[in-house]
A = this chain, B = another copy of it.
Amino acid sequence: MSQKSLSDLNACSKDDFVAALSNIFEYSPWIAERAATGRPFVGVQQLFDAMKAAVGDAGPELRLALIKAHPDLANKTERAAGLTAESLSDAEYEAFERVNNAYRSKFGFPYIVCVRRHTRDSILRDFERRLPNDAAAEMRTSIDEICRIAALRVDQLMASDDRLKVHGRLSTHVLDTHGGRPAAGIAVELVELSELGANRVVTRTVTNSDGRTDRPLIGGRPVPIGRYELTFSVGDYFAGRQVATSDPPFLDRIPLRFSVSEPEGYLHVPLLVTPWSYATYRGS
């Protein structure tokens, strides 16, 4: 999907406008049609707000049709993450199917969640919270999630000076408080923890001369809600600096386990470390 410029969308015919935005909301060209009347837009945020307002102003039938236009969760999960069905563990696949079936049989429409904002664990946890709700509440929640999905699609589609606030960031920083300097060359691994399936390595990297990683551990996208473990190979680092320690070293690979709760937030998880002590905190 090649990127569109806002000025082109402001200037083109209504049909071209609707066509350009056809993939933002599933099978629902009426949203772009209604938003088109708001042109010209000064920015992407204003464009998106217009589409969101069109959804908000629509009657219940149209909103329900929008919800029903969405595919089942399991398929969506695969598609979002670029996964084939095989890459879900059996237990996960079954859990997702169970979720979707239970939900659909209660509400008559599919379970919708913006999967790019979640890990697999948190999708299932989210479902457990939502299943007891009544239909009205779930229609509201489904529309909210649909708009979150749409926001991410708009962000990807549009080239513009302003950006939608749909990207979070997860970063780290290692400070060697034994030597009083940033800790360079420390191997760092970020793993997404899973209860049903296998833990999944998100990224492996090495700290630079500033004790940071050249790029955020996660950036340019939502940081999926879920549990994570960061591991820092400090044993190798101090051994490489000829720092006297015990044998085996008291600290070798240090795990920091934490949860992400705000996918669009900036979360900084630093490590202050000596061969004999360490500390971490939620920074920003």
- The distance from the CB of A209 to the nearest CB of chain B, in whole angstroms, is 10
Across-interface contacts of A122 in B (CB, < 8 A): 248
Q: Is A7 an interface residue (CB 8 A)?
A: no
Segment from A21-29, A90-98, A100-108, A252-260 that makes contact with B: A252-260
Given A177-B277, A283-B175, A284-B181: A255 and B257 interface contact (C-beta under 8 Å): yes
Q: Is A275 an interface residue (CB 8 A)?
A: yes
Minimal Cβ-Cβ distance residue in B for A267: B250
Q: Binary interface profile of A, 153-191, with partner B (CB < 8 Å = 1, else 0)? A: 000000000000000000000010111111000000000
Within 8 Å by CB of A278, from B125, B255, B280, lies B280
Q: Is A227 an interface residue (CB 8 A)?
A: yes
Query: Ordered nearest first, which 5 A-B pairs have the shortest CB separation?
Result: A180-B276, A277-B281, A279-B279, A246-B261, A177-B277
Across-interface contacts of A277 in B (CB, < 8 A): 177, 180, 272, 279-282
Report whether A252 and B274 are in contact in the complex, using a CB–CB cutoff of 8 Å: no
- The distance from the CB of A99 to the nearest CB of chain B, in whole angstroms, is 18
Q: Is A150 an interface residue (CB 8 A)?
A: no
Across-interface contacts of A278 in B (CB, < 8 A): 279-281
Within 8 Å by CB of A259, from B225, B250, B255, B272, lies B250
Across-interface contacts of A279 in B (CB, < 8 A): 272, 277-280
Within 8 Å by CB of A276, from B253, B262, B282, lies B282
Across-interface contacts of A246 in B (CB, < 8 A): 180, 259, 261-262
Q: Is A210 an interface residue (CB 8 A)?
A: yes
